[in-house]
Amino acid sequence: MASRQSNKLIAPAREQWIVGHEQRGIPLARDCSEGGFNFRLAVGIQNSKLLAYGTLCGGFLSDKWLGRPEPAALLGADVDEDGALQLHDPFECLEQRVDVLSGEVPESVEVREGPVTYDVDVRHGQKTGLFLDQRENREAAARYARGRLLDCFSYNGGFALYLARHCEAVHAIDQSGDAVARIAANAARNGLTNVTAADANVFDELRHYERSNERFDTIVLDPPAFAKNKASVEKAIAGYKDINLRALRILQPGGVLVTCSCSYNVDEMLFLQILAEAAADAHAHVTLLEKRMQGRDHPVLLTVPETYYLKCVILRKAA
């Protein structure tokens, strides 16, 4: 990765890159029926279902949208959505805001991701209402998930619901009461009867499981960015180490840990080092099954290292 550059370069560099990206035809999924795609910015809705996500930064769901990188233009007259939203995120150096670009946008929108249908709050939810950047990682995690699953920092249950078909029992934890209520509703909507969810603090719960000798076969850790800036990196390292150490302790031998960091201030090398230290302290022999990143529709610009923000590491604890 190139050395860090001024934040000022991010926006223009991204915009230039969109054009290059499309001209080179980097393959991206474009099946609207497969659900949402992309980096935060524009959302088209039809019959209360997600039609497409557009982005300042990459490819689009619908062929109709190709070559139209501006979010407002993306959701133009020839896209037959009922309504369109534009979502601004402070990460994009914009004020946090949701604008209705056109038509009517319901409070809640149906999004299909693989086998799961989610009811998503696009207006008030975190990020775009759904963490689309984890889409391919949920698919990867499904290759290993089994037995009792603990989904930590679960939000609407992205991992929990996707992996539930592969597991006997699933427990999801998030400190957002709204998100937890959506997990239960979305589980029922998908006919999943093996999912429970709790509004709780993951740090406390992991300690509680350790003390009460409760064990899991699969654990997902997908916390918010602990290091939002350079000054918070040391504290973030301690946080990542704590949750990974405890998760490895309560993971059954032979079990799988899917562990993520979306802090761009903690790069892949540092994250792997933290995981190695957590494994050593937990006296766990751990093998690396997969080293993954944000979905391909959340592109990484080589000259802007901050764009590689999401790390997803899949580990197996030796039997």
For the annotated catalytic residues, the residue numbers are 262
Q: Among candidates 201, 205, 312, 299, which has minimal Cα distance to 263?
A: 312
Choose one: 14-22, 115-123, 174-182, 270-278; the region binding ligand SAM (CB under 6 A).
174-182
Give one DSSP letter per residue of 236-292, joined into a string: HHHHHHHHHHHHHHHEEEEEEEEEEE--TTS-HHHHHHHHHHHHHHTT--EEEEEEE
By CB under 6 A, tell whether 134 contacts ligand SAM. Answer: yes
Q: Are 103 and 116 in contact (CB under 8 A)?
A: no
Q: Which residues, 148 to 167, sit near ligand SAM by CB under 6 A? A: 153-156, 158-159
Query: How many residues sit close enough to ligand SAM to count as binding (CB under 6 A)?
Result: 21
Helices (H), 62-194: 71-74, 135-141, 158-163, 177-189
Smallest distance, Å, CB 72 to ligand SAM? 27
How far apart CA 264 and CA 266 sit, in angstroms, is 5
| Torsion, Cα of 116, 142, 40, 243 (10° steps) | 120
Residue 60 vs 131, nearer CB to ligand SAM: 131
Choose one: 51-59, 95-103, 199-207, 210-218; the region binding ligand SAM (CB under 6 A).
199-207
Residue 23: CB atoms within 10 Å: 9
By CB under 6 A, tell whether 226 contacts ligand SAM. Answer: no
Q: What is the DSSP letter of 57?
A: S
By CB under 6 A, tell whether 136 contacts ligand SAM. Answer: no
How far apart CA 150 and CA 111 sit, in angstroms, is 23
Residue 243 vs 286, nearer CB to ligand SAM: 243
Strand partners, 312: 260, 292
Smallest distance, Å, CB 225 to ligand SAM? 8
Residue 280: CB atoms within 10 Å: 13
Choose one: 92-100, 108-116, 201-209, 282-290; the region binding ligand SAM (CB under 6 A).
201-209
Smallest distance, Å, CB 172 to ligand SAM? 9
Smallest distance, Å, CB 8 to ligand SAM? 27
**In this structure, what token pair is assigned to residue 123?**
């207006």
Q: Which residues, 74 to 133, sit near ligand SAM by CB under 6 A? A: 126, 131
Q: Which residues, 230 to 289, sit near ligand SAM by CB under 6 A? A: 262
Residue 251 vs 258, nearer CB to ligand SAM: 258
By CB under 6 A, tell whether 175 contacts ligand SAM. Answer: yes
Among 174, 256, 263, 313, binds ligand SAM (CB under 6 A): 174
CA atoms lying within 13 Å on the CB side of residue 89:
16
**In this structure, what token pair is assigned to residue 250?**
């309560």
Residue 177 vs 191, nearer CB to ligand SAM: 177
By CB under 6 A, tell whether 309 contacts ligand SAM. Answer: no
Q: Are 18 and 38 in contact (CB under 8 A)?
A: no
Q: Among candidates 20, 22, 41, which has minimal Cα distance to 30?
A: 22
Residue 176 vs 252, nearer CB to ligand SAM: 176
Q: How many residues does the chain have?
A: 319
Residue 176 vs 273, nearer CB to ligand SAM: 176
Q: What is the contact surface with ligand SAM in residues (CB under 6 A)?
A: 126, 131, 134, 153-156, 158-159, 173-176, 179, 201-203, 222-224, 262
